[in-house]
């Protein structure tokens, strides 16, 4: 909640200069209890055509009026000694939501968005309580696998629910992917005021999109605040989890050797992107110099003055290349498929001190700022990446998708106007949305244009001791190779052995095609849960933190059934699971990433999209509010 302040009028005015105007105007309903003032302002435009303008096109003169109004309220509140403010009416809240969204939000979103606003105060991790005697809770120990964003979240949730838990992590620190990926330039591509736990907002984020060290610090701080370290076993691997009919026997190997922990439930929070993948190129391993994967960055390899090849042009390469281009002697970027770039001029921008002040002190401004970000990423790109069966144009899926393509092509054309050779290589053949779009503020194109950088699109024939052999016959001689070639994402939970009922091993059951109910539970594997499991990745909408919060809320709801109702072995019904996956597959086939001509980490070896959630965020929120008892046996 907003903290009282002693700042001068001039300081308040200066802070207001950095306000997100739609969020600021929405927040003023908390001073008045109504939304009447919104009549005096034009409704902002919140769509992809004005992504760079966070004021939604509200003209400068009305922005100034909004700041004046906010100044009057803030200073009156200060003069009155920071009294409690009226609860705005439900109608005023809805009106403010519509205003920030730039139009009427469908009623189906009301409960979801109202919950997301958290106007009644910060939530707990899940909002779920387990009402049972201490002994019943003590009898339900849980093993959480992974101390990354989702594993820490699960730990906090279990701690708040009063259940005993142990977190196992193979790394030496918390942070998961943010500790594993320490390559130069590593940063989040979702705005940070959204890429953070809803119950742990960080008003002091220094950057709009944090770099890896800042995110690492956030997760370390939150883990410490919630006392998680005493529950975590670092540098410890889960070898296997075996269901014995009542408990999971989880065998772990760590600094103290191998032991087996008994758990009533297991929560896997190992993520989808934890197994680096080297390319299937002839001769990988034969290079004479240092060669390493982006997620296994070698700080001991000094790139200064070296000839370097980066293989891949996905999200990791996209961040590495601009960072190292200025220090290496020569950089060859080997591109197999060009990525789509999503313009965001503010990608590397700092959060102005004034905005940080408002987040901390202006009543409910932080809620509305997060809401504005949340809505801007909720669903509005989803229709633009959905197939229209009547649309038959190569490289696009629908009229809207073609419009998006034109917008993105125009941005590339503008950035590479002076380099038609680069432009020709930089327009992806597939429809926008087929792969994750890369958040772009121009540093990629600027790096590619440097004299010491070459973008090579000839296919690679082999890796040789001296460098990269292209199919054209040319040998690109280099001193260092960086494989930014992604992860074995569809090999969920590898290399763990997970043995469920009847001695069935999970990977044998999956046979390379991982499926789960709502991404979390699998028939035959009682009390075994996954966060960020199959079909829970999002491509163009939302924040993965939101998804993890939904999953963990649902999982704690399942644990509640174990502890409160004495259920011993909860598992989803096979028919419910099959029907769910049939719906997911049908919907994924309609999405850009499901198109047959697109290959990506979203698909498994059989070509099925095993990673992505094809529906709206509100659908996952609704589906995960609490487990439906009828969906389960046990």
Is the Cβ of residue 272 or residue 398 nearer to ligand NAP in the bound state?
272
Shortest CB 205 distance to ligand NAP, Å: 15
Asked if residue 443 lies in contact with residue 264, where contact means CB atoms within 8 angstroms, the answer is no
Which 8-state DSSP code applies to residue 200? Answer: S
Shortest CB 188 distance to ligand NAP, Å: 5
Is the Cβ of residue 312 or residue 542 nearer to ligand NAP in the bound state?
312
Is the Cβ of residue 126 or residue 313 nearer to ligand NAP in the bound state?
313
- What is residue 174's three-state secondary structure? coil
The strands making up 291-293's β-sheet, listed across from edge to edge, are 291-293, 480-483, 307-311, 330-334, 453-456
Query: At 268, which helix (H) or strand (E)?
Result: strand 265-268
Shortest CB 166 distance to ligand NAP, Å: 28
Shortest CB 185 distance to ligand NAP, Å: 9
Contact residues for ligand NAP, defined by CB under 6 A: 187-189, 273, 279-281, 294, 311-317, 319, 336-337, 436, 460, 484-487, 599, 601
Shortest CB 476 distance to ligand NAP, Å: 13
Is the Cβ of residue 210 or residue 624 nearer to ligand NAP in the bound state?
210
| Residue 583 structure tokens | 């719906």
| Sign of the CA dihedral running 36, 41, 43, 47 | negative
CA distances from 216 to 34, 192, 206, 349 (A): 40, 13, 14, 19
Shortest CB 101 distance to ligand NAP, Å: 25
Which residue in 332, 336, 335 sits closest to 308, CA to CA? 332
Asked if residue 614 lies in contact with residue 588, where contact means CB atoms within 8 angstroms, the answer is yes
Is the Cβ of residue 316 or residue 581 nearer to ligand NAP in the bound state?
316
Helix ranges (DSSP H) in 325-415: 353-361, 365-376, 399-415
Question: To 5 degrees, how large is the angle CA 227–CA 194–CA 547?
Answer: 75
Shortest CB 154 distance to ligand NAP, Å: 21
User: Strands 237-243, 453-456: parallel, antiparallel or unpaired by DSSP?
Assistant: unpaired
Q: Round to whole Å and give the CA distance between 144 and 154.
A: 7
Which residue in 41, 63, 49, 102 sits closest to 375, CA to CA? 102
| Residue 562 structure tokens | 């174990």
Shortest CB 245 distance to ligand NAP, Å: 38
Is the Cβ of residue 100 or residue 381 nearer to ligand NAP in the bound state?
381
Place of tokens 């700041």: 67
Is the Cβ of residue 316 or residue 624 nearer to ligand NAP in the bound state?
316
Is the Cβ of residue 521 or residue 600 nearer to ligand NAP in the bound state?
600
User: Which residues neighbour 574 within 8 Å (Cβ) at sequence distance 6 or greater?
Assistant: 523
| Sign of the CA dihedral running 420, 425, 429, 432 | negative
Residue whose Cβ sits closest to ligand NAP: 314
Is the Cβ of residue 229 or residue 336 nearer to ligand NAP in the bound state?
336
Shortest CB 335 distance to ligand NAP, Å: 7
């Amino acid at each position: 909640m907003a903290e009282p302040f002693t700042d001068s009028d001039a300081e308040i005015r200066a802070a207001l200069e950095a306000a997100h105007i739609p969020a600021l105007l929405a927040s003023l309903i908390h001073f008045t209890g109504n939304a009447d003032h919104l009549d005096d302002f034009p409704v902002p435009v919140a769509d992809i055509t004005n992504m760079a303008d966070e004021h939604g096109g509200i003209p400068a003169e009305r922005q100034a009026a909004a700041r004046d109004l906010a100044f009057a309220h803030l200073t009156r509140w200060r003069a009155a000694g920071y009294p409690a403010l009226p609860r705005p009416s439900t109608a005023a809240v809805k009106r403010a939501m519509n205003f920030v969204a730039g139009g009427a939000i469908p009623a189906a979103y009301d409960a979801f968005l109202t919950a997301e606003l958290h106007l009644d105060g910060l939530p707990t991790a899940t909002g779920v309580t387990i009402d049972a005697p201490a002994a019943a809770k003590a009898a339900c120990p849980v093993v959480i696998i992974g101390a990354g964003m989702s594993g820490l979240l699960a730990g906090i949730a279990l701690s708040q629910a009063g259940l005993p838990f142990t977190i196992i992590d193979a790394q030496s620190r918390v942070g998961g992917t943010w500790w594993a990926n320490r390559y130069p330039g590593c940063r989040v591509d979702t705005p940070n005021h959204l890429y953070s736990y809803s119950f742990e907002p960080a008003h002091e984020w220094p950057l709009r999109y944090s770099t890896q060290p800042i995110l690492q610090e956030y997760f370390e701080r939150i883990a410490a605040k919630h006392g998680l370290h005493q529950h975590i076993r670092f540098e410890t691997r889960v070898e296997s989890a075996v269901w014995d009919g009542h408990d999971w026997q989880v065998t772990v190997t760590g600094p103290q050797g191998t032991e087996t922990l008994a758990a009533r439930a297991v929560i896997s929070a190992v993520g989808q992107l934890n197994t680096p993948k080297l390319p299937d190129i002839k001769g990988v391993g034969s290079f004479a110099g240092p060669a390493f994967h982006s997620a296994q960055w070698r700080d001991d390899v000094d790139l200064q003055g070296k000839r370097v090849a980066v293989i891949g042009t996905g999200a990791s390469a996209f961040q590495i290349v601009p960072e190292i281009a200025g220090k290496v002697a020569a950089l060859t970027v080997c591109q197999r498929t060009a990525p789509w770039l999503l313009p965001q001029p503010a990608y590397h921008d700092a959060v102005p001190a004034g905005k940080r002040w408002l987040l901390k002190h202006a009543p409910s401004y932080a809620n509305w700022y997060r809401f504005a970000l949340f809505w801007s990423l909720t669903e509005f790109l989803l229709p633009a990446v959905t197939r229209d069966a009547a649309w038959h144009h190569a490289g696009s899926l629908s009229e809207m998708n073609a419009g998006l393509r034109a917008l993105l092509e125009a941005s590339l054309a503008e950035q590479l106007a002076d380099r038609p050779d680069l432009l020709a290589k930089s327009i992806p053949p597939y429809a926008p949305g087929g792969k994750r779009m890369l958040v772009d503020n121009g540093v990629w194109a600027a790096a590619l244009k440097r004299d010491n950088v070459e973008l090579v699109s000839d296919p690679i024939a082999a890796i040789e001791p001296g460098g990269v052999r292209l199919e054209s016959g040319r040998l690109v001689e280099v001193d260092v190779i960086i494989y930014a070639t992604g992860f074995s994402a569809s090999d969920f939970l590898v290399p763990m052995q997970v043995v469920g009922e009847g001695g069935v091993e999970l990977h044998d059951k999956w046979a390379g095609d991982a499926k789960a109910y709502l991404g979390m539970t699998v028939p035959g594997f009682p009390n075994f849960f996954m966060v960020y499991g199959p079909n829970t990745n999002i491509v163009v909408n939302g924040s993965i933190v939101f998804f993890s919060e939904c999953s963990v809320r649902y999982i704690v709801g399942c644990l509640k059934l174990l502890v409160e109702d004495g259920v011993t072995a909860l598992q989803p019904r096979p028919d419910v699971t099959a029907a769910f996956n049939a719906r997911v597959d049908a919907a994924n086939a309609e999405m850009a990433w499901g198109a047959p001509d697109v290959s990506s980490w979203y698909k498994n070896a059989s070509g099925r999209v095993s990673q992505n959630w094809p529906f709206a965020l509100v659908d996952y929120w609704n589906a995960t509010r609490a487990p439906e008892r009828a969906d389960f046996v046990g």
